[in-house]
Amino acid sequence: MNKLLQAFKIPEIRDKILVIAGLLIAFRVMAAIPLPGIDRVRLLQLFQSNQLLGFLNIFSGGALDNLSIVMLGVGPYITATIVMQLLTMIFPALKAMYYEEGALGRAKFNRYSLYLTVPLATLQSYGFLNLLASQGVFPNLTLTSIVVNVIVATAGSMILVWLGNLITQQKIGNGVSLIIFAGIVAGIPRTVQLALINYDPAVLATYIAFIILAVIIVGGVVFVTEGERKVPVAYAKRIRGTRMFGGSSSYLPLRVNQAGVIPIIFAISVLLFPQFLAQLSAIISRDFSLRFNQWVNFFFNNQIIYGLIYFALVVLFTYFYTAVTFDPKEIAKNLQQAGGFVPGLRPGEPTADYLQKVLGRITLYGAIFLGVIAVLPIATQIITGIQQLTIGGTALLIVVSVAIETMRQLEAQLAVREYEF
C-alpha cells in the first residue's frame, strides 16, 4: 500500500496507472455487452454443468459466461503464442529468431503470433457457437447470425490483444495477464453473493474450514511462486590490459514454478479439444457430432476420472514446458563464455548435467503443486458436497502471480525515479 501511495505522488507513474485502469474499465464494459439472441437461462445451466467451460471462462477474463462480444478473451492469442513456442522446437529458424535476434527478432515472433491468432479465434468462435446452438443457448441461430457472431467475436479478441499490448507498453505489469486478472477479480462479488444466498447454518463449520483453507492456499501459492533454488556461480579473474575483471561470485536462480500457469493452459486446451472436435465434425455429419458430444460429456462429467486426467496432464506439461524454455546446455555454455563456473564442477557438459539434475528435482515439486492447484475445485466439491464452495486454485495462482509481478515492475519504476532524483 505504501508503494502505491508513493507511486501516485510521481506524475509519470500516476498517469501510467490511470491509463491501465482506463483500459481495464474499457475491457469490462465490452465484457458486459452480450451477443444477440441468447437464452440466458439455458446458458447459466450449461456453465453450471460444464467444468471445462468454467475453466475457459477464467482465461477469457470472465467474458465467456455471458457470451459477450469479447467472449473469447485473450485465449486465442495465448494459444497462438504457445503454438509458436512449440514450433521453435521444430524449425531452427524460428528458434534463432526468438532466442538469438534480440528485441527485433522477438517483435517479429510476436507479430507472427498475432497473425496466427486470427484463424484460431475464428475456428474457436465457430466451434463454441455450434456447441451452444446444440445445447439450446441460441434458439434461432441462422447462417447469417453465425457469420456475424464469428466476425464480432474474432474482432473482440483482437481488440483485447491490442488493449493488452497498450497496457504492457506502460511497463507496469503484463497486459494479457492483467486482463485475465481483472476478469477474475470482477467475478469475486458474484461468487461471494452466491455463497451467502446458499448459506446453510447447519454447515457453518464447513464454511469456516473453507475460509481457513483458502487463506492457507493463498500463502502456499505465494511461497511456491517465490520459491527458487540458488545455484552458486563464481567468475574467474581475468586481466585485460591494466585492469582485472571477474573474481566475483553470484548465483543462478532456478524457480520451483519455472513454467508458471502455462501447463494448466496446455492441459485445458487438450481437455477442450475433444469437445471442439465434436463441434467441427458437425460439418461432416450432424448425427455423428451429437453422439460424439454425448460421449465426451459423459466421460468428463465423472469428476474423479476428469480430475485424474487433468492432474496427469498438468504434471506432464510442466516438465515439457520447462524443458522447452530452460536449456541447461545453453546456460552452461553462456556461463563458460562469461568465465563463470559452478564451484566443484568443470565448465561445459558436467555443469549442464548438474543443472539438469537440479532442475528435474525442483520441477517435480512444482509440477505436483500445479497439479494440486488445478484439481482443487473438483476436490472441494467432492469433499464438501457444496457446489458453491469451490476454491479456484487456478484463479488464485493467476491472481497472486500477476499481483506479485505487477508490484515488482512498479517497484522497479519507483527505484529508477529515486535513482534519478
Q: Are 378 and 303 in contact (CB under 8 A)?
A: yes
CA dihedral of 308, 314, 319, 323, whole degrees rounded to 10:
150
d(CA 95, CA 258): 20
161-198 pLDDT tens trace = 999 999 988 888 888 888 888 888 887 777 677 666 76
Per-residue pLDDT at 19: 92
Q: Are 398 and 180 in contact (CB under 8 A)?
A: yes
d(CA 174, CA 409): 9
Q: In the predicted model, is pLDDT for residue 5 greater than 90?
A: no
- pLDDT (average), residues 345-373: 87
d(CA 390, CA 368): 20
Q: Residue 398's Cα: distance from chain center in Å? A: 7
135-157 pLDDT tens trace = 777 777 777 888 888 899 899 99
Output the nine-digit C-alpha cell for 51.
467444468
- pLDDT (average), residues 194-211: 68
Per-residue pLDDT at 22: 93
Enumerate domains of the chain plus CATH numbers. 1-186 (1.10.3370.10), 197-390 (1.10.3370.10)
Q: Kindly indicate the confidence band of residue 387, based on its pLDDT and cuts at 50, 70 and 90.
A: low
Choose the weakest-confidence range: 71-80, 115-124, 149-158. Answer: 71-80
Per-residue pLDDT at 421: 47
- pLDDT, the chain, mean: 78
Q: Are 180 and 73 in contact (CB under 8 A)?
A: yes
For the chain, state the CA radius of gyration: 24
Per-residue pLDDT at 247: 60
Per-residue pLDDT at 201: 67
Please choose, from the candidates 21, 62, 68, 26, the residue with its C-alpha nearest in 3D space to the C-alpha of residue 191: 62
Q: Are 391 and 377 in contact (CB under 8 A)?
A: yes
Q: Kindly indicate the confidence band of residue 56, based on its pLDDT and cuts at 50, 70 and 90.
A: low
Q: In the predicted model, is pLDDT for residue 224 greater than 60?
A: yes
Q: Kindly indicate the confidence band of residue 23, based on its pLDDT and cuts at 50, 70 and 90.
A: very high
Q: Kindly indicate the confidence band of residue 117, based on its pLDDT and cuts at 50, 70 and 90.
A: very high
AA identity, residue 73: G
Top-confidence residue, 260 or 80: 80
Choose the weakest-confidence range: 33-47, 196-210, 301-315, 348-362. Answer: 196-210
Per-residue pLDDT at 158: 93
Place of cell 463449520: 205
DSSP-derived secondary structure letter, 333: H
Per-residue pLDDT at 163: 93
d(CA 164, CA 149): 22
271-298 pLDDT tens trace = 777 766 766 666 666 677 677 777 777 7
Please choose, from the candidates 54, 53, 190, 179, the residue with its C-alpha nearest in 3D space to the C-alpha of residue 128: 53
Per-residue pLDDT at 332: 84
Q: In the predicted model, is pLDDT for residue 110 greater than 90?
A: no
Q: Kindly indicate the confidence band of residue 382, based on its pLDDT and cuts at 50, 70 and 90.
A: low
Top-confidence residue, 235 or 300: 235
Per-residue pLDDT at 238: 63
AA identity, residue 212: I
Q: Are 177 and 403 in contact (CB under 8 A)?
A: no
> How do strand 238-240 and strand 243-245 relate by DSSP bridges?
antiparallel
Bridge partners (DSSP) of residue 234 are 249, 341
- pLDDT (average), residues 222-238: 80
